Amino acid sequence: MGIVLALIFKCALGAIAVLIIAILSKSKAFYIAGLVPLFPTFALIAHVIVSKEQGAEALKQTALFGLWAIIPYFIYLFMVYILATRMSMWSCLSLATFGWIIAAAGLIYGWNKFYL
């Protein structure tokens, strides 16, 4: 039963984040909706799980990888910023997501080559 409650709690956190984003996107401070996904909800969950399963050294490595993981997100946001007024929303977001995927794949490849 503990696993089911843990999953329900994680789902509730995600739903709350989506609700906050939806509310903020309709407000005068719509830009704050871009900050909500950066709240470390899922990082906290991942860090607790990694720490419990693998220990402090693995938690440290996970945090370091998370620092490098900012690069694909930066590329995504930069592409959205550049393309938002030059093409349709779906094209802009699709290209930005593709940029994120390429950068994330490069990050994973580099991590496996240099850190493992």
pLDDT tens digits, residue range 3-14?
888 889 888 888
Rg of the chain in Å (alpha carbons): 17
Write down the pLDDT at residue 6: 80
Domain residue spans in the chain?
Answer: 1-39, 56-116
What 3-state DSSP class applies to 102? helix
Q: Give the type of residue at 103.
A: A
How does pLDDT run across 22-41, given as a tens digit for each residue?
A: 999 999 999 999 898 888 87
- Digit-coded pLDDT (tens) for 47-97: 999 999 999 999 999 999 999 999 999 999 999 999 999 999 999 999 999
Distances 109 to 63, 68, 105, 115 between C-alpha atoms, Å: 17, 12, 6, 10
CA 89, CA 96: separation in Å to the nearest integer? Answer: 10
**What's the pLDDT at 4?**
87
Under 8 Å between Cβ of 107 and 72: yes
Residues 96, 100: Cα–Cα separation, whole Å: 6
